[in-house]
Chain A
Amino acid sequence: MMLVWILILLIGTGLLAWLASRWGTFFPRLISLVGTLSYFGITLWLWLGHDSSIDNEGWIISYTANWMPSFGIQFKLAMDGLSLLMLLLTSFLSVICVLVSWKEIKTRVGFFHFNLLLELAGITGVFLALDLFLFYFSWELMLVPMYFLISIWGHEDRIYAGKKFFLFTQASGLLMLLGILGLYFIHGQTTGVYTFDYEQLLGTVIPKGTAFFLMLGFVVAFAVKLSTVPLHSWLPDAHTQAPTAGSVILAGLLLKTGAYGLIRFALPLFPEASHQLAPLAVLLGVISILYGAKLAFAQTDFKRLVAYISVSHMGFIMLGIYSFNEMAMQGVVMQMIVHAVSTGALFIIAGSLYDRIHTRDLAQMGGLWRQVPKMGTMGLVFVMASMGLPGLGNFIAEILILIGSYQGPFKVLTIIATLVLITATAYALRIMQKVFYEEERKVWVIPDFGVREMIVMLSLTGVILWLGWYPSSVLRMAEVPVQKVIREVTMSKSGKKEEMGGVDKDPVYNVTELLNIKSNDNKNENQAQTINSIKTE
Chain B
Amino acid sequence: MKDLLWLIVTLPFAGALILAVAGWKLTRAVCAIVGVGSVSLSAILTLLVGYEFLSDTTPYLQVVWQWFDVYGLSPNIGFHLDTVSLIFIFIITFVGALIHLYSAEFMWKEDGFVRFFVFMNLFVGLMLILVLADNLLFLYLGWEGVGLCSYLLIGYWYKNPKNGYAARKAFIVTRIGDAALAVSFYILFMSFNTLNIQDILMEAPGTWTVGSGIAVATAFLLLGGAVGKSAQLPLQTWLPDAMAAPSPVSALLHAATMVTAGVYLIARTHVLFEIAPIAQHTVAVIGAATLLVAGMSALYQHDIKKVLAYSTISQIGYMFLALGIGAWSAALFHFMIHAFFKALLFLGAGAVIWVMRDEHNMFKMGGLWKKLPITFWTFLIASASLSALPLITAGYYSKDKIIWLAYASDKGSKGLWLAAIVGAFITALYTFRMVFLTFFGKAKAEPTHRLGWMITVPLLVLAFFSFAGGFIELPGNMGHLTLVSNFVEKTLPATTILTLQPSTELIFQIISAVIVLVAVFIAYKLFFNKPFPAAVPQRNAMQQFFFKGWDFDLVYDKLIVEPMVFLSKINKNDIIDKFYSGLAYITRQLNILLSATQNGQLRWYAMVIATGAILILTIIFFP
**What is the interface of chain A, defined by CB distance below 8 A to chain B?**
164, 229-230, 232-233, 236, 294-295, 297-300, 325-327, 330, 367, 369, 377, 380, 384, 389-391, 395-396, 399-400, 402-404, 406-407, 411, 414-415, 418-419, 421-422, 425-426, 429-430, 433, 436-439, 469-472, 475, 479, 511, 515-516, 518-519, 522-523, 525-526, 529-530, 532-536
Contacts and interface: CB of A to CB of B under 8 A. Distances in A.
Contact of A230 (B68, B164, B579): B579
Interface in B549-601: 564, 567-569, 571-572, 574, 576-577, 579-580
A515 B189 CA distance: 10
Contacts of B576: 229-230, 232-233
B61 A532 contact: yes
Contacts of A472: 66-69
Contacts of B623: none
Given A233-B576, A402-B186, A472-B66, A526 B74 contact: yes
Contacts of A536: 3, 6, 62, 64
Contacts of B176: 422
B177 to A, nearest CB: 10
B145 interface: yes
Contacts, number: 169
A299 B78 CA distance: 41
A326 B63 contact: no
A439 B157 CA distance: 11
A438 to B, nearest CB: 5
Contact of A326 (B70, B178, B186): B70
Contact of A233 (B159, B568, B580): B580
B190 A407 contact: yes
A518 B63 contact: no
B571 A298 contact: yes
A406 B159 contact: no
Interface string B1-14: 00100100000000
Given A425-B171, A469-B77, A438 B158 contact: yes
Contact of A298 (B20, B61, B140, B569): B569
A166 B155 CA distance: 44
Contacts of B143: 390
B621 interface: no
B144 A369 contact: no
From B63, B145, B579, name the one whose CB has the most chain A CB atoms within 10 angstroms: B63
B158 A426 contact: no
B572 A389 contact: no
Contacts of A377: 20
Nearest to A236: B574
Contacts of A389: 144-145, 148
A438 B194 contact: no
Nearest to A433: B164
CB-CB nearest 9 A-B residue pairs: A519-B72, A406-B186, A390-B141, A298-B568, A437-B158, A233-B577, A327-B71, A298-B572, A421-B179
From B73, B152, B160, B579, name the one whose CB has the most chain A CB atoms within 10 angstroms: B73
Contacts of B164: 433, 437-438
A522 B72 contact: yes
B65 interface: yes
Contacts of B200: none
Contacts of A399: 137, 182, 185
A470 B67 CA distance: 6
From B68, B71, B168, B172, name the one whose CB has the most chain A CB atoms within 10 angstroms: B71
Chain B interface bracket (under 10, 10 to 19, 20 to 34, 35 or more): 35 or more
A295 B572 contact: yes
A429 B168 contact: yes
From A367, A369, A437, name the one whose CB has the most chain B CB atoms within 10 angstroms: A437
A455 to B, nearest CB: 15
Contacts of B179: 418-419, 421-422
Contacts of A233: 574, 576-577, 580
Interface in B163-197: 164, 167-168, 171-172, 175-176, 178-179, 182-183, 185-187, 189-190, 193-194
B24 to A, nearest CB: 8
Contact of A471 (B67, B145, B194, B568): B67
A515 B78 contact: no
A475 B141 contact: no
Given A406-B186, A518-B72, A522-B194, A391 B141 contact: yes
Contacts of A411: 186
Given A519-B193, A536-B6, A369 B185 contact: no
Main secondary structure of the interface of A (DSSP, over half): helix
Given A419-B179, A533-B62, A330 B71 contact: yes
Nearest to B190: A407
B479 interface: no
Given A380-B152, A415-B186, A470-B68, 18 more contacts: A294-B568, A327-B70, A330-B70, A369-B158, A377-B20, A389-B145, A395-B141, A399-B137, A403-B186, A415-B183, A419-B179, A421-B178, A422-B172, A425-B172, A437-B155, A437-B164, A439-B159, A525-B199
B478 to A, nearest CB: 42
B161 interface: yes
A403 B72 CA distance: 12
B151 interface: yes
A485 B378 CA distance: 67
A232 B576 CA distance: 9
B151 A523 contact: no
Contacts of A439: 159, 161
Contacts of A414: 186
Contacts of A438: 158-161, 164
Contacts of A418: 179, 182-183
A334 to B, nearest CB: 9
A515 B67 contact: no
11 contacts: A230-B576, A327-B72, A369-B158, A377-B20, A390-B137, A396-B68, A429-B167, A438-B159, A472-B68, A518-B72, A523-B69
B71 A404 contact: yes
A88 B72 CA distance: 27
Nearest to A440: B159
Interface string B69-100: 11111101110000000000000000000000
Given A294-B567, A390-B141, A436 B158 contact: yes
Contacts of B171: 425, 429
A170 B65 CA distance: 47
Given A295-B574, A403-B186, A422 B175 contact: yes
Contact of B74 (A522, A532, A534): A522
B63 A535 contact: yes
Contacts of A535: 63-64
A164 B577 CA distance: 11
A522 B71 CA distance: 10
Contact of B70 (A400, A421, A426): A400
A233 B584 CA distance: 13
A439 to B, nearest CB: 5
B613 to A, nearest CB: 37
Contacts of B64: 535-536
A511 to B, nearest CB: 7
Nearest to B161: A438
A389 B68 CA distance: 17
A431 to B, nearest CB: 11
Contacts of B151: 429
A37 B345 CA distance: 58
Given A403-B73, A406-B186, A471 B68 contact: yes
A83 B611 CA distance: 62
A299 B73 contact: no
Contacts of A519: 71-72, 193
A9 B211 CA distance: 65
A529 B190 CA distance: 22
A100 B173 CA distance: 37
Interface string B342-378: 0000000000000000000000000000000000000
A294 B148 CA distance: 21
Contacts of A469: 67, 77
